[in-house]
């Protein structure tokens, strides 16, 4: 075969193979069942007490927002959700914002969402403006749900990919009164693996725990009991 015929053959071969695409096969969602009510349930503004029970007042109890969440920190559906990155309180307005946004964005024929937090239950009291000091504790103004770091706020599942729901989950997380982020099961597993790797392969002995335990720089004078417990990890 002469040179011209060889170049023509190579040119034809390159032209034929340059348009080939190799895509991975789509995920199989046959095992997922869509519930009858795929959208988030309506949340009551005030907890329902029995007729003969008077609504109780409560202290602030800031410890309900401090530290890590040890129970509801994983995805039950193993798909997608919103995770809190700091402590805070959810009001009924925040529940309504999440419920309406999820209801508009998801496709109910192949997606569904569930709550992972309780309805507002902790009472917050308030004294009316212009009143004199004293007179006892004020009346109940509204109810909130305390949230700790790492708490899963809601979950979204169905026959969908993470890239399909990431944008509106991120928008909802930005509207919450504390730092939050959209997560998937792969993100949580990678985050846990990274934390474990950093802890096992850390070559710097002067960690925050070591500094606090040895009173480096006299830090015991200005640290709180929660700083000793969480080593400044959860503020």
Segment 60-115, tens digit of pLDDT: 999 999 999 999 999 999 999 999 999 999 999 999 999 999 999 999 999 999 99
- The two tokens of residue 214 are 């040895």
pLDDT in the model for residue 129 = 87
Judge whether 141 and 125 are in contact, CB under 8 Å.
Answer: yes
Q: Mean pLDDT for the chain?
A: 91
Tell me: pLDDT of 11 over 80: no
How many whole angstroms from its chain centre is CA 63?
Answer: 19
pLDDT in the model for residue 20 = 65
pLDDT in the model for residue 128 = 87
What span, in angstroms and rounded, lies between the C-alpha atoms of 157 and 100?
17
The dihedral formed by the CA atoms of 95, 38, 154 and 57, expressed in degrees to the nearest 10? 40
pLDDT in the model for residue 186 = 96
Region for residue 54 given its phi and psi (left: phi exceeds 0; alpha: psi -120 to 50; beta: otherwise)? beta
- The two tokens of residue 123 are 């009472």
Tell me: pLDDT of 227 over 80: yes
Q: What is the pLDDT of residues 14-36, one digit of tens each?
A: 554 556 677 788 888 888 999 99
pLDDT in the model for residue 26 = 82
What span, in angstroms and rounded, lies between the C-alpha atoms of 173 and 73?
16
pLDDT in the model for residue 152 = 98
pLDDT in the model for residue 24 = 82
> For 26, which DSSP code?
P
Phi, psi (degrees; rounded to nearest 5) at 149: -65, 130
Q: What is the pLDDT of residues 204-225, one digit of tens each?
A: 999 999 999 999 999 999 999 9
Task: Tell which residue, 172, 6, 18, 180, has the closest CA to residue 94.
Answer: 172
Tell me: pLDDT of 9 over 80: no
pLDDT in the model for residue 111 = 96
Cα dist from 78 to 73, 106, 164, 179, whole Å: 12, 18, 16, 22
Judge whether 147 and 90 are in contact, CB under 8 Å.
Answer: yes
In the chain the domains, ranked by start, together with CATH numbers, are 28-47+55-192 (3.90.1170.10), 199-235 (no CATH)
Sign of CA dihedral 80, 157, 97, 168: positive
């Amino acid at each position: 075969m002469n040179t011209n015929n060889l170049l023509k053959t190579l040119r034809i071969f390159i032209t034929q193979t340059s348009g080939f695409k190799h895509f991975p096969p789509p995920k199989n969602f046959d095992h997922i069942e869509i519930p009858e009510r795929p959208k988030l349930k309506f949340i009551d503004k005030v907890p329902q007490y029995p007729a003969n029970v008077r609504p109780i007042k409560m202290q602030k109890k800031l410890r309900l927002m401090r530290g890590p969440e040890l129970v509801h920190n994983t995805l039950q559906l193993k798909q997608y959700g919103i995770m809190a990155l700091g402590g805070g309180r959810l009001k009924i307005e925040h529940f309504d914002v999440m419920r309406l946004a999820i209801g508009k964005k998801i496709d109910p024929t192949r997606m569904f969402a569930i709550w992972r937090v309780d309805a507002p239950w902790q009472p917050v009291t308030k004294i009316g403006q212009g009143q004199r000091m004293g007179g006892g504790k004020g009346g109940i103004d509204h109810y909130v749900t305390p949230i700790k770091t790492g708490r899963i706020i809601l979950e979204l599942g169905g026959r969908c990919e993470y890239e399909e729901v990431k944008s509106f989950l991120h928008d909802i997380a930005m509207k919450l009164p504390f730092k939050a982020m959209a997560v998937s099961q792969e993100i949580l597993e990678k985050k846990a693996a990274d934390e474990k790797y950093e802890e096992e392969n850390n070559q710097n002995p002067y960690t925050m725990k070591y500094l606090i335990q040895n009173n480096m720089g006299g830090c015991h004078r200005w640290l709180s009991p929660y700083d000793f417990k969480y080593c400044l990890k959860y503020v």
